[in-house]
Structure 1
């Protein structure tokens, strides 16, 4: 199961929901998430060399955040039976959240790999525009690619954070506890 939505689109909530359903999840490649975690440097090197058989793939059931959403097409072609979930939210709310969350934080290798000199969305209007363009392009390409495919679900957890769609899509029973709604960026 691959969550192919950008960061700040409910991926933390989706990850917690998948863990509740019994999935072994990995969310990004921060230090300590698995034995080879190095903030993505090793995964980036493999991807840049054209090798998409990432070391994390045999270790987990569900993959969220980067680099997985960046290589969604290669993952879809290599894993045609896998399920794909696009988490999204309005572009305006998304970029506001990114600017608040990432502004003044250390730029990690994955963000630099994705955005180069514009890795901090709060650093300039041009950086904000680059992030928005990448977000909109990413979502449009995914929606086009997966149109009418049964192994695809689009979720906007800011509008409907419930078990209904996710459990129906994964053919899982709905848990009794409320759907987790986590990691809300404070204003």
Structure 2
């Protein structure tokens, strides 16, 4: 999704900043900025789920499964394991569990991001188009790591609409919906970003909460975190073109995997046929 997955090397480090910015608000830029300021690994959901190993993706599936089962102790344990060693976190799936992260890391500060609603919704629709075809889970099945992404998208939708049912009048029964461009009417969809930020602000102490725009650069973030302003431009990454390119790369690489499977299967079948023929 435009960034590089960070992998912790020191499990004793803990979350200092919870990036509560909704997807497509510059979450990779925020990841890069926080890694610079905090001098440590920041978990970015999109890049981690598409760039890390099977075992790590399964940790986040465990978080969602425990949540759906209503098992809070198990959910918190799984969430701590998924975030162990990171100094910050950005993007989904983490921003589906801001309240739990605040409970696990009570000293952490929370940063949310505002963006123009129309431009944000247009960008989100691009993500929806690329991640919700029903055939995708079968297509990605042979690829470790990626094979879990379609299921993860289903969980994103489930959890996101759980939050909507409590925050927006007229949105009900999230279980009856399915992922796709028609998840929400456009008028409600465009309000989702503001709803999300309002939800986060409702349970985070004001002194630990910052709502900013990335165009404001380093100053508000550094002041909030009590860090010196770096002598370099604020990071800019993860634009719409990068999302499209990531989707194309995944499709191409997966096609090569399937080609290898078919070639191996065909070769094995031919060898078996020749062996059978030899015994006739």
Is the aligned partner of 1:92 residue 2:118? yes
**Unaligned residue ranges in structure 2 (runs of 5+):** 1-16, 134-149, 159-176, 245-280
Residues 13-65 of structure 1, C-alpha deviations (whole Å, 9 max, x = no match): 00011122213111114044467322732332233332223112222110111
Are residues 1:153 and 2:172 paired? no
Q: TM-score, normalised by structure 2?
A: 0.57
Bigger helix share = 2
RMSD: 2.6
Question: Secondary structure in 1 aligned to 2:121?
Answer: helix
Instruction: Return 35-44 or 24-33, whichever deviates more.
Output: 35-44
Tell me, yes or no, if structure 1 residue 10 matches structure 2 residue 26.
yes
Matched, 1:37 2:56: yes
Please say if 1:119 is aligned against 2:119: no
Q: In 2, are the aligned partners of 1:18 and 1:62 still within 8 Å (CA)?
A: yes
Specify which of 76, 92, 101 is matched with residue 52 of structure 1.
Answer: 76
1:142 aligns with 2:161: no
Task: Determine which structure has more spread, i.e. the larger CA radius of gyration.
Answer: 2
1:133, distance to aligned residue in structure 2 (A): 5.2
Q: State which of 31, 35, 40 in structure 2 corresponds to 1:23.
A: 40
Q: Are the equivalent residues in 2 in contact too, given 1:43–1:67 (CA < 8 A)?
A: no
Q: Give the C-alpha shift of residue 143 in structure 1.
A: 2.7
In 2, Cα distance between the equivalents of 1:136 and 1:169?
Answer: 21
SS of alignment partner, residue 36 of structure 1 = helix
Aligned counterpart, 2:274: none
In the alignment, the residues of structure 1 paired with residue 190 and residue 236 of structure 2 have an alpha-carbon distance, to the nearest angstrom, of: 24
- Equivalent-residue separation in structure 1 for 2:41 and 2:208 (angstroms): 19
The Cα shift of 1:97 comes to 0.7
Structure 2 residue matching 1:89: 3-state secondary structure? coil
Which TM-score applies when normalising by structure 1? 0.82
Q: Is the CA contact 1:6–1:69 (under 8 Å) kept in the aligned structure 2?
A: yes
CA shift digits 1:127-147 (9 cap, x unpaired): 656644543322222233336
Q: What is the alpha-carbon distance in structure 1 between the residues aligned to residue 201 and residue 210 of structure 2?
A: 10
Structure 2 Cα separation of the partners of residues 82 and 150 of structure 1? 11
Moved more, 52-61 or 138-147: 138-147
Q: Is the 8 A contact 2:43 2:83 kept in 1?
A: no
